[in-house]
Amino acid sequence: VNEIVARMTSFSKLHPLQDENEGALEILHGISQMLGEITGMDGFTLQPAAGAHGELVGLLIIKKYFKTRGIVKNKIIIPDSAHGTNPASAKMAGFSIIELQSNEHGEVPLDHLEYAMKQGDVAGIMLTNPNTLGVFDRQIKDITRIVHEHGGLCYYDGANLNPMLGICRPKDMGFDIVHLNLHKTFSTPHGGGGPGSGPVGVINELIPFLPIPCIVSTDKGLICNYENHESIGRIKAFWGNFSIILRAYVYILSLGGDG
């Protein structure tokens, strides 16, 4: 059904250079609300065109967060069981990487994490949970607590979010930022090199740093807000991969909360 809806001419003939379309904005705003409910996050951008693009956006948000506070933190902790794009994205965002070796259970060793965070210049941690070994880290709340106690932020890579849906949410585990793969988790195409979509969700404190434009609700309806001086700026032309976002929107609605 999501493919049928995406091929309707009222959607397929939309052009990004035409005037703002309230119906299209309603879909973008609606899926942002739904993804927020699914992950626990307070704000979303739908612009990233892929998972790794979402990672880069999340890391740029982390960098901007500390920069606005006059704090220099230029390292990111990444376990050896993390998704392979994590270190590449961190490098592109200008971070150095501290790699943590997993323990015999395939989990993050808390003593090593504590030692790494005590260096003082660590911005946070990137985690996939369950990780690429297929292991759900049972110490996840201790991990996020340690990072927060040392002033860091916790980034959740949604590459393996599928088994978590309806069971637990990234924010409830203690994460501050999450990216999702609509092309993995919400039924959209993932063949032939794309297209993809990697929305990024954040907690309230990080909403000011989301890319522009942001869709906001006003007395006159939904509008696109470009006036955000703390934003990391525009990271993609127009609205992201709209047809992919639309498919995910229909998929979520067709399944409902229980689905």
Per-residue pLDDT of the chain (259 residues; tens, 9 = 90+): 888 888 888 888 888 777 767 788 999 999 999 999 999 999 999 999 999 999 999 999 999 999 999 999 999 999 999 888 999 999 999 999 999 999 999 999 999 999 999 988 999 999 999 999 999 999 999 999 999 999 999 999 999 999 999 899 999 999 999 999 998 888 887 655 668 899 999 999 999 999 999 888 888 888 888 888 999 999 998 888 998 999 999 999 988 877 6
Residue position matching structure tokens 């927060």: 148
Three-class SS state of 154? strand
Cα torsion at 81, 165, 254, 1 (round to 10°)? 10
Residue 139 tokens, joined: 């110490």
Among candidate residues 172, 170, 137, the one with its CA nearest the CA of residue 155? 170
Asked if 244 contacts 50 with a C-beta cutoff of 8 angstroms, the reply is: no
Is the domain defined by 2-254 classed in CATH 3.40.640.10?
yes
The residue ranges of every structural domain in the chain are 2-254
1-10 contacts, C-beta under 8 A, 24 or more apart: 1/250, 1/254, 2/187, 2/188, 2/246, 2/247, 2/248, 2/249, 2/250, 2/251, 2/254, 3/247, 5/246, 5/247, 5/250, 6/243, 6/246, 6/247, 6/250
pLDDT, tens only, 14-24: 887 777 677 88
The reported pLDDT for the residue numbered 220 is 82
Residue 221 tokens, joined: 């309806």
CA dist., res. 165 & res. 148, Å (int): 25
The reported pLDDT for the residue numbered 194 is 64
pLDDT, tens only, 35-78: 999 999 999 999 999 999 999 999 999 999 999 999 999 999 99
This prediction has a pTM of 0.93
